[in-house]
């Protein structure tokens, strides 16, 4: 199939495609999503197929208005309400009990719960509203690859496999939403993301945080057990000892690609075969926005190993390091 490139002025065409059960990529404030009608099994199977995604990994359902909630869930607990008041639209996905037959069974992968989010992006909100139905959307990458933060990234992975891409430029946050489960006794963060645990706790009090460890046999958030966010080349995380690491790798004959802030890059202009800037020193917001783009860019170079700068694990740094650790693990 020919993948259509749709501008933000032609959202009605994208909405019509969604209504006709086609799969359409669109920008959100986190990463590009791969959308389809959440009420149609046929449409949802198109998502799994295009991404090569295992069918036991459920999808997030995106809505444009709060009024759509009651079509999807039987109960919105008070803490969910508080979180929605504070963080929606925004990078927070909330897991609630699913209403029977509200969505195609493939969306929830057989779970009794459903992940719901209202994205903070005018194109996403308009598109969902115009389509007039809840839109299931995982990140619009081939399974296992870094999530796309531009329409071109989506094209690189899925050209010919989906009906259309709506081009909305670069996404803002750059990492996926935080996923929080409100069906357990204590609210549990299943995936760190665009809204920090600190911000969530100041809204609703104590929360648990799971490691999302892919070794665990029965992960609560099924997606966390798969290899994720990875370019083809090995990725190493570097904290401070840049000179030592670079020297050792050069001795072994590796060709080094570096993804780091400008001050680090300026020290290794001759040693590295390729570099990509994560912006100013210690700006984790900017580093998060550029991380996936940088992994994709360096993966296309002659580098045989990619070195990436670590950040402290606080605030957005928790999500940044979570994605980076997944990209660097070799299983
Ligand atoms: O920012 C985002 O969240 C992006 C944009 C497009 O909205 N979407 C995204 O979707 O990252 P995806 O499919 O790549 O990740 C969804 C995560 C997976 O880890 C999945 O296992 C988890 O949410 N999930 C979905 N439904 C769930 C459920 N009912 N219970 C537990 N985890 C669930
Ligand atoms: Mg994903």
Q: Does the annotation place 177 within a ligand binding site?
A: yes
Q: Does the annotation place 139 within a ligand binding site?
A: yes
Taking the CA of residue 140 as reference, the ligand 1 atom at the shortest distance is 6
pLDDT of residue 215: 40
Residue nearest (by alpha carbon) to ligand 1 atom 6: 33
pLDDT of residue 30: 98
- What does each C-alpha distance from 94 to 33, 54, 97, 318 come to in angstroms? 17, 22, 10, 19
Ligand 1 site-directed mutation target among 97, 115, 184, 194, most atoms within 8 Å of CB: 115
pLDDT of residue 221: 57
pLDDT of residue 226: 52
pLDDT of residue 216: 39
Residues in the chain, pLDDT under 70 = 211-229, 330-331
Question: Ligand 1 pocket, 35 CB below 6 A?
Answer: no
Residue 51 CA, ligand 2 centroid: distance in Å: 10
How does DSSP classify residue 231? -
Q: Are 207 and 197 in contact (CB under 8 A)?
A: yes
């Amino acid at each position: 199939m020919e993948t259509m490139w749709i501008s933000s002025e032609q959202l009605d065409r994208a909405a019509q495609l969604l209504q006709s059960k086609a799969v359409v990529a669109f920008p959100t404030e986190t990463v590009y999503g791969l959308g389809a009608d959440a009420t149609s099994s046929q449409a949802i199977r198109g998502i799994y197929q295009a991404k090569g995604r295992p069918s036991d990994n459920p999808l997030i359902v995106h809505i444009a208005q709060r009024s759509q909630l009651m079509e999807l869930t039987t109960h919105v607990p008070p803490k969910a309400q508080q979180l929605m008041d504070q963080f929606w639209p925004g990078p927070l996905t909330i897991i609630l009990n699913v209403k029977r037959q509200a969505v195609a069974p493939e969306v929830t992968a057989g779970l009794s719960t459903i992940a719901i989010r209202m994205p903070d992006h005018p194109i996403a909100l308009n598109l969902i509203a115009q389509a007039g139905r809840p839109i299931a959307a995982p990140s619009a990458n081939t399974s296992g690859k870094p999530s796309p933060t531009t329409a071109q990234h989506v094209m690189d992975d899925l050209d010919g496999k989906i009906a259309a891409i709506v081009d909305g430029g670069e996404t803002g946050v750059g990492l996926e939403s935080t996923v929080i489960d409100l069906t357990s006794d204590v609210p549990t963060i299943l995936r760190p993301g665009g809204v920090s645990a600190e911000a969530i706790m100041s809204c609703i009090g104590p929360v648990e945080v799971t490691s999302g460890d892919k070794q665990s046999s029965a992960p609560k958030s099924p997606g966390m057990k798969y290899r994720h966010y990875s370019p083809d080349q090995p990725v190493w995380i570097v904290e401070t000892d840049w000179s030592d690491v670079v020297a050792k790798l050069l001795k072994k004959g590796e060709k080094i690609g570096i993804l780091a802030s400008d001050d680090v890059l300026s020290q290794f202009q001759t040693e590295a075969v390729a570099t990509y800037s994560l912006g100013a020193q210690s700006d984790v917001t900017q580093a998060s926005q550029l991380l996936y783009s940088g992994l994709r860019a360096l993966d296309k170079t002659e580098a045989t190993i990619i070195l990436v700068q670590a950040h402290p694990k606080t605030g957005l740094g928790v999500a940044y390091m979570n994605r980076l650790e997944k990209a660097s693990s070799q299983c």
